[in-house]
A and B are shown apart, each in its own frame.
Chain A
Amino acid sequence: GNSVTQMEGPVTLSEEAFLTINCTYTATGYPSLFWYVQYPGEGLQLLLKATKADDKGSNKGFEATYRKETTSFHLEKGSVQVSDSAVYFCALSEMNTGNQFYFGTGTSLTVIP
């Protein structure tokens, strides 16, 4: 079956530090991969996505590369800001199977000044 495993938090970083949040997946077909972000008191919103192997998604300084050989989609940012404090969710979707989405447990990030 399909599943997503992401590193447990919480993660606490100082401003301008480098961020990596690991995500690995299991899928039966050829999924699309996503990172969603949830700011305090809000719903989830799409941060970036990649639809095929070796694609790199990027947005707001965040990047993630679809690695089929390691079934991974790690989220990275070179220099985090206080405003990046949020919960980050890795997810996959196989559009050929009815647009089912599978989410990880979420990783809480706190950036301190």
Chain B
Amino acid sequence: ETGVTQTPRHLVMGMTNKKSLKCEQHLGHNAMYWYKQSAKKPLELMFVYNFKEQTENNSVPSRFSPECPNSSHLFLHLHTLQPEDSALYLCASSQAGQRNTGELFFGEGSRLTVL
């Protein structure tokens, strides 16, 4: 069982669809992240949750809606996306606070294609 699991691994959706990406971490961490990876661009931090509270929202369009029901699960709800939103979406977790080792643990990513 990998530390951070993302589903689905691949998703194709139309611009009017509603879908969700799921992330689950089995590492006992208290911080979770969504990153967007596009070709030839730095990883873009989208959202950060510390202790289930959203602490970062880097000017992400409202068509992306995160949800963190508990410290082990993170969702990214998608609706009315645009073709330029096609990318690899990576979930990560870490241990924030005093036990911070400064390391992010990533899932394998969800490859999203918007038609």
Do B100 and A44 touch across chains, with their CB atoms under 8 A apart? no
Per the bound structure, the CA–CA distance linking A43 and B108 in Å amounts to: 4
Q: Does A73 contact B (CB under 8 A)?
A: no
A93 at the interface (CB under 8 A from B): yes
Interface status of A99 (Cβ within 8 A of chain B): yes
B109 CB–A CB distance under 8 Å? yes
Contacts A99-B31, A103-B43 known; A43 to B100 CB distance under 8 Å?
A: no
A106 to B35, CA, bound (A): 14
Q: Given the complex of chains A and B, what is the CA–CA distance between A45 and B43 in angstroms?
A: 14
- Is B103 a contact of A43 with CB atoms below 8 Å? no
Q: Are B106 and A45 in contact (CB under 8 A)?
A: yes
Interface residues on A, range: 20 to 34
Instruction: Closest A residue to B101 by CB, please name it.
Output: A49
CB contacts (< 8 Å) of B107 on chain A: these are 43
Query: Which partner residue on chain B sits nearest A4 by CB separation?
Result: B42
Contact (Cβ within 8 A) A43 B102: no
Chain A residues, Cβ within 8 Å of B45: 100-101
- A32 contact set on B, CB distance < 8 A: 102
Query: In the complex, given contacts A36-B104, A46-B105, A104-B42, what are 10 additional A-B residue pairs having Cβ atoms less than 8 angstroms apart?
Result: A42-B108, A43-B109, A44-B90, A89-B43, A93-B102, A95-B100, A100-B56, A101-B104, A102-B42, A103-B42
Chain A to chain B contacts (Cβ below 8 Å), 23 pairs: A34-B103, A36-B106, A42-B108, A43-B6, A43-B106, A43-B108, A44-B90, A44-B92, A44-B106, A46-B105, A49-B102, A49-B103, A51-B102, A95-B100, A98-B48, A98-B55, A99-B31, A99-B50, A99-B102, A103-B42, A104-B42, A105-B42, A106-B42
B residues with a Cβ closer than 8 A to A are: 4, 6, 31, 40-43, 45, 48, 50, 55-56, 90, 92, 94, 96, 100, 102-109
Which 7 A-B residue pairings sit nearest by Cβ, starting from the closest? Answer: A43-B106, A103-B43, A44-B106, A43-B108, A32-B102, A105-B42, A103-B42
